[in-house]
């Protein structure tokens, strides 16, 4: 490695001179810029070749993906398969504010994701080389002054994206070769969106958007809290607007029929909050959720939790919502309402990999509030000293957020949002 870097330092000025002299002739003269294969990511040759770019350079997008201003007239015609989309809204939060900076923080934490190309070892896949077009669509414009208006903006922004045509066709079943048909209720093949929150309130408008394509949807929800609270229990007293917040949005989603209800196919994970009383669980049952308590990691383990989730959602289209507070604050302190006794980053990532093969139609990660990331500098120093393994090193404590999404992205790119036509006829 040291030898390679030395080579770059010596070779760089010479090569730049050569390029100045005659731009467009020989392939070798493209060095060093020839190594950077935008728009996807800096592409590192490895295996004996030099590393040509630094992972900390450039404009920060998620995983250094190309930035498309999807919601501006200029970007409105750009097709994609999976988009990262920020929703910087945090005026529905009950305790620590700051998740409006979540999208920016998560992007900053994600820069190393493609350092060596982005191959996911346990899932044996590289989501960035899957052939699917993955972009960073920037942020939805969200007003910080009017929650009612902001929630409409989030729904509209998300819906605009999932209702666009995809870049890639749905393709054929990898086993039988039969053509796949969409699993949506409108019969269309929709692109997927991974939303970077924002506080958890954003999931109400996101589920309204999802409903437009998939109807009532199964939900996998990782959180230390229920978020199905009745407004009378959780902050709703002052006004109708106060009744829609990051502890009640699933109550409203259930009331509006956005969640597949009555057949127990939504699933919470990592629950460990205190309650107003046992009635909160009854209310949660009524909203259609099954619960997995955080402490079950000690009894049924990661495999048992994966099994429970898979049995609950089956092969239904599913929306995945991850509250970063499902991870223990020891690993992820930068969140609005931290609860001790949570899962480790390693455990949540293993559980997410266990969702491989499920039809995840879209996803989010919420409640990342970078202002409380007070240990970041310490982690950076410790990381620099300890290891070069990308799955062990944390450049900052924000790293769990992008790593979690790396698992989600890997699972998504492995499984197309379709089923074989013969099977759909049987249903
Ligand atoms: Mn939550």
For residue range 286-308, what is the model confidence (pLDDT) as tens digits? Answer: 888 989 999 999 999 999 999 99
**Contact yes or no for 272/294 (Cβ under 8 A):** yes
Model confidence band, residue 182 (pLDDT cutoffs 50, 70, 90): very high
For 366-422, how does the pLDDT look when each residue is reduced to its tens digit (9 = 90+)?
998 888 885 543 332 222 222 222 222 233 344 455 567 888 888 888 888 988 876
Ligand 1 centre from 409 Cα, in Å?
21
Is residue 323 a contact partner of residue 364, using CB atoms and an 8 Å limit?
A: no
d(CA 159, CA 206): 8
**What is the structure's pLDDT at 391?**
27
pLDDT of residue 145: 97
pLDDT score, position 115: 66
User: Rounded to the nearest whole angstrom, what is the distance from the C-alpha of residue 336 to the centroid of ligand 1?
Assistant: 9
Quote the percentage of the chain above a pLDDT of 90: 44
Residues in Cβ contact with 99 at an 8 Å cutoff, skipping those fewer than 6 apart: 88, 89, 90, 93, 197, 198, 199, 335, 336, 366, 367, 368, 369
Long-range contacts of 240-245 (CB under 8 A, 24+ apart): 241/147, 241/148, 244/92, 244/147, 244/151, 244/201, 244/204, 245/92, 245/93, 245/94, 245/201
Cα 227 to ligand 1 centre (Å)? 6
Higher pLDDT, 28 or 390: 28
Instruction: Give phi and psi for 100, each to the nearest 5.
Output: -65, -25
CA of 272 to the centre of ligand 1 (A): 12
Residue 42 DSSP label: -
Tokens (6 digits) for 59: 């404009």
- In the block, residue with structure tokens 């999931």: 203
148 CA to centre of ligand 1 in angstroms:
19
Higher local confidence (pLDDT), 62 or 389: 62
CA of 247 to the centre of ligand 1 (A): 7
The pLDDT value given to residue 374: 58
How far apart are the CA of 111 and the centre of ligand 1, in A?
25
What mean pLDDT do residues 41-57 have? 55
Distance 374 CA to ligand 1 centre (A): 21
**Residue tagged 């969140």 (tokens):** 335
- Give 92 Cα–ligand 1 centroid separation in angstroms: 11
* Residue 386 buriedness (CB in 10 A; 0-12 / 13-18 / 19+): exposed
Amino acid 303: pLDDT: 95
For residue 82, give the 3-state DSSP assignment.
Answer: strand
- Say if residue 2's pLDDT is above 50: no
Which helix or strand (DSSP H or E) is residue 320 part of? Answer: strand 317-323
Residue % of the chain over a pLDDT of 70 = 76
Least trusted range by pLDDT, from 161-165, 293-297, 328-332: 328-332
Dist. CA 86 → ligand 1 center (Å): 17
Among the residue ranges 310-314, 328-332, 388-392, the one predicted with the least confidence is 388-392
User: What value does the mean pLDDT of the chain take?
Assistant: 79
For the chain, give every residue range classified as CATH 3.40.800.10: 65-426
Distance CA 30, CA 24 (A): 8
Q: How far is the centre of ligand 1, averaged over its atoms, from the C-alpha of 63 (Å)? A: 25
Structure confidence at residue 402 (pLDDT): 59
Query: What distance in angstroms lies between residue 172's CA and the mean position of ligand 1's atoms?
Result: 37
More confident residue, 213 or 263: 213
**365: CB partners within 8 A, 6+ apart:** 106, 194, 195, 196, 197, 322, 323, 324, 401, 404, 405, 408
User: Residue 119 to residues 57, 160, 351, 388: CA-CA distances in angstroms?
Assistant: 21, 31, 18, 15
Where residue 424 falls among pLDDT bands split at 50, 70, 90?
very low
Could you list the beta-strand ranges (E) of 140-234: 180-182, 192-197, 218-222
Determine the average pLDDT of the residues in 106-133.
80
Phi, then psi, of 322 in degrees rounded to 5: -115, 115
pLDDT at 52: 54
Question: Which pLDDT belongs to residue 401?
Answer: 55
Q: Who wins on pLDDT, 280 or 149? A: 149
For residue 323, the CA-to-ligand 1 centroid distance in Å is 5
CA–centroid distance, residue 226 to ligand 1 (Å):
7
Q: How far is it, in rounded angstroms, from Cα 116 to Cα 390? A: 9
Instruction: State the pTM of this model.
Output: 0.82
The whole-number pLDDT of residue 18 equals 38
User: Looking at residue 150, what is its pLDDT?
Assistant: 98
Torsion of CA 103, 107, 109, 115, to 10 degrees: 160
Query: How far does the centroid of ligand 1 lie from the alpha carbon of residue 340, in Å?
Result: 14
pLDDT at 140 over 80: yes
> Which residues, listed in sequence order, are joined to residue 320 by a DSSP beta bridge?
220, 363
Distance 195 CA to ligand 1 centre (A): 14
| CATH 3.40.800.10 for the 65-426 domain, yes or no | yes
Say what the pLDDT of residue 390 is.
26
DSSP-assigned letter for residue 56: T
Tell me the C-alpha distance between 321 and 156, whole Å: 19
* Residue in the block written with tokens 């629950």: 271
What's the 165 CA to ligand 1 centre distance in angstroms?
Answer: 31
pLDDT value at residue 17? 38
Write down the number of H helices and E strands in the chain.
Answer: 11, 10
Max avg pLDDT among 116-125, 208-217, 362-371: 208-217
Ligand 1 midpoint to CA 410 (Å)? 23
């Amino acid at each position: 490695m040291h030898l390679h870097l030395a080579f770059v330092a010596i070779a760089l000025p010479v090569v730049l001179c050569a390029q100045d002299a005659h731009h467009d002739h020989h392939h070798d003269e493209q060095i060093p810029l020839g190594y950077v294969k935008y728009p996807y990511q800096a592409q590192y040759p490895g295996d004996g070749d030099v590393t040509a770019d630094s992972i900390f350079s450039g404009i920060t997008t998620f995983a250094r993906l190309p930035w498309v201003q999807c919601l501006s007239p200029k970007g409105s015609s750009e097709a994609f398969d999976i988009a990262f989309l920020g929703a910087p809204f945090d005026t529905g939060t009950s305790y620590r504010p700051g998740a409006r900076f979540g999208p920016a923080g998560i992007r900053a934490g994600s820069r190393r994701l493609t350092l060596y190309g982005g191959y996911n070892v346990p899932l044996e896949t590289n989501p960035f080389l899957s052939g699917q077009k993955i972009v960073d669509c920037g942020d939805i414009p969200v007003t910080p002054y009017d929650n009612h208006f902001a929630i409409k903006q989030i729904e509209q922004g998300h819906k605009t994206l999932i209702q666009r045509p995809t870049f890639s066709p749905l393709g054929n079943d990898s086993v039988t070769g039969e053509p796949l048909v969409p699993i949506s209720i409108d019969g269309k093949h929709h692109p997927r969106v991974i939303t970077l929150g924002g506080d958890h309130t954003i999931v109400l408008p996101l589920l309204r958007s999802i409903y437009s394509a998939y109807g009532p949807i199964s939900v996998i929800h990782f959180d230390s809290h229920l978020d199905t609270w009745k407004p009378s229990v959780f902050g709703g007293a002052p006004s109708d607007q106060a009744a829609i917040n990051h502890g009640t949005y699933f109550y409203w989603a259930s009331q509006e029929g956005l969640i597949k209800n009555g057949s127990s196919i939504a699933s919470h994970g990592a629950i460990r909050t205190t309650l107003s009383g046992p009635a909160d669980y009854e209310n949660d049952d009524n909203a259609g959720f099954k619960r997995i308590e955080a402490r079950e990691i000690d009894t049924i383990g990661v495999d048992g939790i994966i099994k429970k989730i898979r049995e609950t959602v089956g092969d239904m289209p599913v929306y995945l919502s991850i509250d970063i507070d499902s991870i223990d604050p020891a690993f992820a302190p930068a969140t609005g309402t931290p609860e001790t006794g949570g899962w480790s980053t390693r455990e949540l990532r293993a559980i997410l990999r266990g969702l491989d093969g499920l039809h995840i139609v879209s996803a989010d990660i919420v409640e990342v509030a970078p202002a409380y990331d007070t240990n970041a500098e310490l982690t950076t120093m410790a990381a620099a000293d300890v290891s070069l393994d990308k799955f062990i090193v944390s450049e900052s404590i924000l790293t769990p957020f992008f790593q979690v999404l790396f698992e989600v992205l890997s699972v998504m790119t492995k499984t197309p949002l379709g089923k074989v036509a013969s099977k759909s006829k049987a249903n």
